[in-house]
Amino acid sequence: MTAPQPLIAGNWKMNGTSASLDEARAIAAGVGECPARVAICPPAILTHRMSQALAGSRVLVGGQDAHWDDAGAFTGDISAEMLADAGAKLVILGHSERRTGYRETDDIVASKVKAALRARLEPIVCVGETLEERKAGRALDVVTGQVRGSLPAELSGQTFSVAYEPVWAIGTGLTPTTPEIEEVHRAIRGALVEQFGEAGRAVPILYGGSVKPGNAAEILHADEVGGALVGGASLKADDFLGIVRAL
Ligand code: PEP
């Protein structure tokens, strides 16, 4: 089976206003012929304008979260259908900032994945261990458990990716060593093949957590790394393009 096409996605989190659309335009202008698919996931309020700003470019727009229901009395929430209607093609689900800050369990994440599929959004499902779990030697168990619990059977035959994001590496400047990343990615691959058969080999496994232009080449060329989910360094076009070009 051929290796999956890599995906490099920027997660802007709660950063950016309409002025930031220029940064997205600069990313689209500089992305060139890189072998990866490239996406930016801005705050939901920018989805529509960013989709318009990037129309005709290679850069896709994604959401950062979506509700598990399609519509209803959920004040302040955004549905997958709304993101798709605003031009999003992908959506990040189960980010550790949602799992921790909003108590999202694997079951909730799996429900959100199903909602994304109903809206024809491509899910990027995040998993990752805390520092305590790593120190206790539980990283592989935690991460493969999250993969099994957060990926519903409905994903069979669909396009999606998994992002391994060690919680302790997000926004901290810390990264696991390359052998540590490879060990977890191989374990995730094993869990994907167990769950989805040979099709599990075609799922890109992204790495996320303090990816920068300076460490991107080593990380992106590691075994079983199929791209990156980038937080802070995706906010500046030069930094994000430095990562994209490292592939
Ligand atoms: C993230 O939040 O998904 C992330 C990887 O953040 P950072 O790159 O800033 O560590």
Looking at the domain assignment, is residue 218 inside a domain? no
Note whether residue 66 is domain-resident.
Answer: yes
Residue 149 falls inside a structural domain: yes
Taking the CA of residue 169 as reference, the ligand 1 atom at the shortest distance is 10
Q: Whose CA is nearest to atom 2 of ligand 1?
A: 231
Residue 232 to residue 239: CA distance in whole angstroms: 9
The residue nearest atom 3 of ligand 1, judged by CA position, is: 231
Could you tell me the residue range of the domain that residue 79 belongs to? 41-209
72 Cα to the center of ligand 1, angstroms: 31
Q: Among residues 23, 95, 122, 133, which one is catalytic?
A: 95
Whether residue 72 lies inside any domain: the answer is yes
23 inside domain: no
Q: State the total domains in the chain.
A: 1
Q: Which residues line ligand 1 (CB under 6 A)?
A: 11, 165, 170-171, 208-211, 229-233
- Structural domain contains residue 243: no
95 is catalytic: yes
Residue 230 and residue 235: Cα distance in Å, rounded?
Answer: 9
User: Does any domain span residue 118?
Assistant: yes
d(CA 91, CA 61): 9
Among candidate residues 23, 122, 129, 165, the one labeled active-site is 165
Taking the chain (247 residues) in runs of 10, the rounded mean pLDDT of each run is: 86 97 97 94 98 97 98 98 98 97 97 98 98 98 98 98 98 96 98 98 97 98 98 98 96
CA distance 16 to 218: 29
Residue 132 lies in a domain: yes
CATH code, 189: 3.20.20.70
In the residue annotation, 165 being an active-site residue is answered as yes
CA 230 to ligand 1: nearest atom = 8
Atom of ligand 1 nearest to the CA of 92: 3
Q: Where are the alpha helices (DSSP H) in the chain?
A: 21-30, 47-53, 80-85, 96-101, 106-118, 131-135, 139-150, 178-196, 213-220, 237-244
Count of CA atoms in the C-beta half-sphere (13 A) of 21: 13
For residue 2, what pLDDT is reported?
65
